[in-house]
Amino acid sequence: MLGKDPKKQIVKYRESQCTLKRLIMRRNRYKLIVFALVLVYVYHFFGVGDYVQSKNFDSDFNYPLNVDIRPIVQAILDGQKPNVKPINYYPYKFLSNYRQCSVVNKPDLVIIVKSAIDHFGHRDAIRKTYGKPHVQGYNVKTFFFLGVDNASSDVQKNITKEMTEFKDIIQMSFRDSYFNNTIKTVMSFRWIFQHCAEAQHYLFTDDDMYISVQNLLKYVSDVTTASERDGILFAGYVFKSAPQRFRSSKWRVSLEEYPWDKWPPYVTAGAYVVSNKAMKMLYVGSLFVKHFRFDDIYLGIVAKKMGIVPTHCPHFHFYKKPYEREVYSDVIASHGYSNHDELIRVWNEQNAL
Ligand SMILES: *[C@@H]1O[C@H](CO)[C@@H](O)[C@H](O)[C@H]1NC(C)=O
Ligand SMILES: *[C@@H]1O[C@H](CO)[C@@H](O)[C@H](O)[C@H]1NC(C)=O
Ligand SMILES: *[C@@H]1O[C@H](CO)[C@@H](O)[C@H](O)[C@H]1NC(C)=O
């Protein structure tokens, strides 16, 4: 192995060994850097820091306004003027207003449909199904709540026509978009609080849901005293979950926006029912609770601050419940009905039973 000059060979050999070592070291350093970069990326991407730094919901929840808002709300409901000013009053108007909720003809149930402005077909299908005014002797009223888009567009012209024809659309003066859903929800609470405050119960629903008014009325008439305490009911499909901190997520919530590690229990926005008393407490309560852009979580926060515990009702389906005649006999609400013919077919079949 060794040549003429063993010493030289040894030196060379040592040199090459050194180079090799250096190479390995450099490669290791390279690996280390890549590893560190991946770590930083993962840390950033998955919002690990946000998870680590979030505050404990159970011990530290104190969403603004940081006072007990219950006595303030009670004072307002009792007709007094509290000395605390509202912090959350949306400055929008009702552009149409059909006063169909007379005190004389008190509705048993009012259905508030959160509808998208161009969903003409959805609204038609609802009018032909669960939005019908009389259900087995009960007085039911249905209203559609919309924002605005472009006042001179064809869509708006058609909405104006639809409003004149059916008188069941309440249009409001903010832009209709997903992240304005909290505004839409609270403004529709305001409308019923001001113009339709006499009903026993209120069902809030999206325009792509299947609803059984019979099953709902049955549920609210025999809810146990455990879920409806003192006439306060806020029920539907209840989620107990945590904020998403992933950078890429549409649902990402920063620590600045919401610093706690859990959401309060909340009823998913697809469909939920509130009793008359709960409707008033949630609306007046919302005036003292800072805006939050997810409407269902916002109501969960208001409920928590008002001491209202949401009731989970297994007959509200957050995911579409696959249709079978018998299986649907106790369904109150199910997602996944943006196909109008399907909604009409299912509703007719259930109502013929
Ligand atoms: C509203 O719609 C009209 C007609 O389609 C169009 O000319 C106008 O530019 C639109 N305005 C805005 C603000 O989008
Ligand atoms: C408005 O209504 C007319 C007549 O029903 C229809 O032809 C048109 O497609 C509708 N336009 C929009 C934007 O919905
Ligand atoms: C919500 O509505 C307001 C008022 O119309 C508008 O200025 C704002 O851009 C809307 N927000 C979103 C996210 O669309």
Question: Which amino acid is present at 299?
Answer: L
CA 92 to ligand 1 centroid distance, Å: 21
Q: Is the pLDDT of residue 275 over 90?
A: yes
Is the model more confident about 42 or about 173?
173
* Residue whose CA is at the smallest distance from ligand 1 atom 5: 153
Q: What's the pLDDT tens digit per position in 15-33?
A: 777 777 787 777 788 888 8
For residues 103-119, give the mean pLDDT: 90
| pLDDT, position 44 | 77
Query: Which are the contacts of 137, defined by CB distance < 8 A and separation ≥ 6?
Result: none
Q: What is the mean pLDDT of residues 207-215?
A: 96
Residue 6: predicted pLDDT: 66
Q: Is residue 165 lining ligand 2, measured as CB closer than 6 Å? A: no
φ/ψ of 169, rounded to 5, equals -110, 125
Mutate to test the pocket of ligand 1, among 117, 150, 154 (most ligand atoms within 8 A of CB): 150
Tell whether ligand 2 has an atom less than 6 A from the beta carbon of residue 150.
no
Mean pLDDT of 312-324: 95
Share of the chain above pLDDT 70, in %: 95
Provide the pLDDT for residue 180: 96
Look at residue 271 and tell me whether its pLDDT is greater than 90: yes
For residue 104, the model assigns a pLDDT of 67
**Burial group, residue 140, by CB count within 10 angstroms (0-12, 13-18, 19+):** buried
Neighbour count for residue 176 (Cβ, 10 Å): 19
Residue 207 Cα to ligand 3 midpoint, Å, equals 21
Using pLDDT thresholds of 50, 70 and 90, give the confidence band for residue 95: very high
Over range 232-251, report the average pLDDT.
91
When pLDDT is cut at 50, 70 and 90, the band that residue 66 belongs to is very high
Residue 113 predicted with pLDDT over 80: yes
Report pLDDT for 135: 76
User: What's the gap in Å between 90 CA and the centre of ligand 3?
Assistant: 11
CA of 269 relative to ligand 3 center, distance in Å? 20
Q: Is there an atom of ligand 2 within 6 Å of 158 CB?
A: yes
Question: pLDDT confidence of 102, banded at 50, 70, 90?
Answer: low
Residue among 131, 133, 109, 119 nearest 347 (CA): 131
Q: What is the pLDDT of residue 340?
A: 96
Residues with CB under 6 A from ligand 3: 174-175, 177, 179-180
Cα–Cα distance between 113 and 271 in angstroms, integer? 9
Q: Are the C-beta atoms of 348 and 132 separated by less than 8 Å?
A: no
Ligand 2 lined by 155 (C-beta under 6 Å)? yes
Higher pLDDT, 47 or 329: 329
pLDDT the model gives residue 45: 76
Q: What is the mean pLDDT of residues 316-344?
A: 96
Paired tokens of 327: 């299986």
Lowest-confidence pick of 218-222, 238-242, 257-261: 218-222
pLDDT at 103: 62
| Nearest residue (CA) to ligand 2, atom 12 | 155
pLDDT recorded at residue 2: 47
Q: What is the pLDDT of residues 147-196, one digit of tens each?
A: 999 777 899 999 999 999 999 999 999 999 999 999 999 999 999 999 99
What's the whole-number mean pLDDT along residues 238-248? 90
48 lines ligand 2 (CB under 6 A): no
Q: Which of 117, 118, 122, 154, when mutated, tests ligand 2's pocket best, judged by the most ligand atoms within 8 Å of its CB?
A: 154
Contacts of 83 (CB under 8 A, 6+ apart): none
**pTM listed for this prediction:** 0.87
The closest alpha carbon to 350, from 145, 247, 166, 212, belongs to: 212
pLDDT mean over 45-52 = 79
Nearest to 96 by CA among 35, 42, 143, 57: 143
Start-to-end C-alpha separation, the chain: 96
